[in-house]
Amino acid sequence: MRNSRDYFAAIDDDRRIWLNGRLVDRVLGSEHLRGNALEIGALYDLQLREDLAGQLAYDDGATRYPAAFRPPVDAAALSARGRAYEILAEATYGFLGRSPDYLHTWVAAMNAHSDWFGEYADNVRRFHEHVKSGNLFVTHSFTNPQTDRSRELGDLVTRERPIALQYIGENSNGVRVSGARMMATSAPLADELLVMGAGRILREDDYDLGLGFSVPVGTEGLSFVCRGSYAGPDRQLARRFDEMDAVAVFDRVLIPWERVFIFSDPYKSNQFKAECGFFEHVGQQVLTRQLVKGRFLLAVGTAVAQAIGITGYPNITEKLGRISTWLDVTEACLTTAITHAEPSGPTVRPQSRSISAGLRYFNDFYPTALTMLEEIAAGGLMLTPSVEDAEEEVLETIEHYFQGATIGGLSRVQLFAIARELTGSSFGRRQSLFERYFAGEPARAYSSAFNRMDLALVRKPVDKLLTAATPVFA
């Protein structure tokens, strides 16, 4: 299997990444991207560790592959896959939403449902083999740019200079597309960009928008415009875990036919997630990672409370107890999802309801938990001077005057700086936004949960009471 050096060599190409208004020469040379690349490289090396091989990889007798590709045929297999997710997430404290196992899981699920892709089924299967055997890092973009949400996407289709990604032509080699995709997190460091869906429901004649394909990040005509970087030298988390978000711009890009999965098919573009179990399969990886991240938050909150001697106050222990209970609920959702596995093509998938409940709960609770952490640390979040390259005299001052109940001044600055990054930095705000929005807008997810309900069944208890009740005013 691939190691970090293979990975670094693969992304050291001529990809076009715009960052801070300039083209990045080489992503590994960029101070804004390098830290995150090293973390992903470390995940590749972790998969090669012999003591973890049984958990992070499997072999088919001859070749070793990442665990996410092992077809989950029963609950035990789902559980084993979950353990691999957990080990990988623990290596990065749950901060990497786009660790390679995330889309490995989706590519494996697409393969399990490849027949559904009809005439493009073989393309799906070959793509799966390509990603699996190369242990490639794939990212995805499933939404179109936020331009005018009052209009249907189909009404924006134009041959002039499209904004939403669309078909503009085809020849014997492939399909030509132009336009942009709203977000492709980690694209600057990925091997492949997988494009599917549209972010909204397409109308039945929105043929030009009904596309699904994958291309290498370095493909001619493809470029990425990154948001501003949050990585900085004295930011312990951001310099390692700031996953770059970027808009993907396609300028007359030719997608080879063998990389097309959905073509001129708005129905399939609307349906692929539901038909192939996207949320259930990928949701297991996401929820596992979120659990690890939540545990990190609890660890920071506990360490901060101990550091300044406030663990005896009930208003503090209540907060830490709430975070701990929230993690128990998340874990219970994961366990139930696995033990109540449902059929998914020739495999099984985690139970839909439990995954959905866990993801929604995390959406809501993560910002609340950050507020609790802020209330625990309070003004101490500001006792965080930069100590990198500090002179001896001020270090001595900090060691004395910044000390806590159980901790010296410099250690306390480091600990509280982590709490500050989580609660108050651009990196921390982006993490919160990511957890709430990366898989879609939460309000609409709740709304569709209502729309899926059997209302007659939901009303039954109150209807029973009303029918059986003795009239009060008889």
Are 272 and 264 within 8 A, CB to CB? no
Are 303 and 373 within 8 A, CB to CB? no
Residue 181 three-state SS: strand
Answer yes or no whether residue 440 interacts with ligand FAD by CB under 6 A: yes
**Count of residues of this chain found to bind ligand FAD when the rule CB under 6 A is applied:** 21
Answer yes or no whether residue 441 interacts with ligand FAD by CB under 6 A: yes
Cα torsion for 355, 358, 364, 369, to the nearest 10°?
-140
Nearer to ligand FAD, 77 or 245 (CB): 245
Q: Is 105 annotated as a binding residue?
A: no
Q: Contacts with ligand FAD in 403-422 (CB under 6 A)?
A: none
Cβ neighbourhood burial of 400 (10 Å; 0-12, 13-18, 19+): exposed
Q: Contacts with ligand FAD in 330-349 (CB under 6 A)?
A: none
Cβ neighbours for 162, distance < 8 A, ≥ 6 positions apart = 156, 168, 178, 179
Beta strand 16-19 with 222-226 is parallel
Nearer to ligand FAD, 231 or 316 (CB): 231
Answer yes or no whether residue 183 interacts with ligand FAD by CB under 6 A: yes
Using the contact rule CB under 6 A, the part of the chain among 17-25, 114-122, 359-367, 432-440 near ligand FAD is 432-440
Answer yes or no whether residue 272 interacts with ligand FAD by CB under 6 A: no
Q: Least distance in Å: CB of 96 to ligand FAD? A: 12
Which residue, 239, 225, 162, is CA-closest to 198?
Answer: 162
Beta strand 347-349 with 342-344 is antiparallel
Q: Is 122 annotated as a binding residue?
A: no
Using the contact rule CB under 6 A, the part of the chain among 10-18, 25-33, 179-187, 268-276 near ligand FAD is 179-187
Answer yes or no whether residue 141 interacts with ligand FAD by CB under 6 A: yes
Are 330 and 362 within 8 A, CB to CB? yes
Using the contact rule CB under 6 A, the part of the chain among 43-51, 161-169, 182-190, 407-415 near ligand FAD is 182-190
The owner of tokens 């539901």 is: 274
Answer yes or no whether residue 437 interacts with ligand FAD by CB under 6 A: yes
Per-residue DSSP letter, 229? P
Q: Is 325 annotated as a binding residue?
A: no
Per-residue DSSP letter, 310? -
* Phi/psi of residue 169, nearest 5 degrees: 170, 175
Nearer to ligand FAD, 125 or 200 (CB): 200
Nearer to ligand FAD, 305 or 355 (CB): 355
Residue 175 three-state SS: strand
Answer yes or no whether residue 446 interacts with ligand FAD by CB under 6 A: no
Q: Is 34 annotated as a binding residue?
A: no
Nearer to ligand FAD, 415 or 422 (CB): 422
Answer yes or no whether residue 362 interacts with ligand FAD by CB under 6 A: no
Q: Is 240 annotated as a binding residue?
A: no
Are 211 and 193 within 8 A, CB to CB? no
Nearer to ligand FAD, 64 or 203 (CB): 203
Q: Contacts with ligand FAD in 192-221 (CB under 6 A)?
A: 199
Are 27 and 17 within 8 A, CB to CB? yes
Helix %, strand %, coil % of the chain (to 5): 55, 15, 30
Using the contact rule CB under 6 A, the part of the chain among 23-31, 137-145, 169-177, 272-280 near ligand FAD is 137-145
The residues pairing with 246 across neighbouring beta strands, listed in sequence order, are: 226
Using the contact rule CB under 6 A, the part of the chain among 127-135, 208-216, 311-319, 433-441 near ligand FAD is 433-441
Joined tokens for residue 309: 């001697």
Answer yes or no whether residue 245 interacts with ligand FAD by CB under 6 A: yes
* Phi/psi of residue 265, nearest 5 degrees: -140, 85
Answer yes or no whether residue 433 interacts with ligand FAD by CB under 6 A: yes
**Residues near ligand FAD (CB under 6 A):** 139-143, 146, 149, 182-185, 199, 245, 430, 433-434, 437-438, 440-441, 443
Annotated binding-site residues for FAD read: 146-149, 185
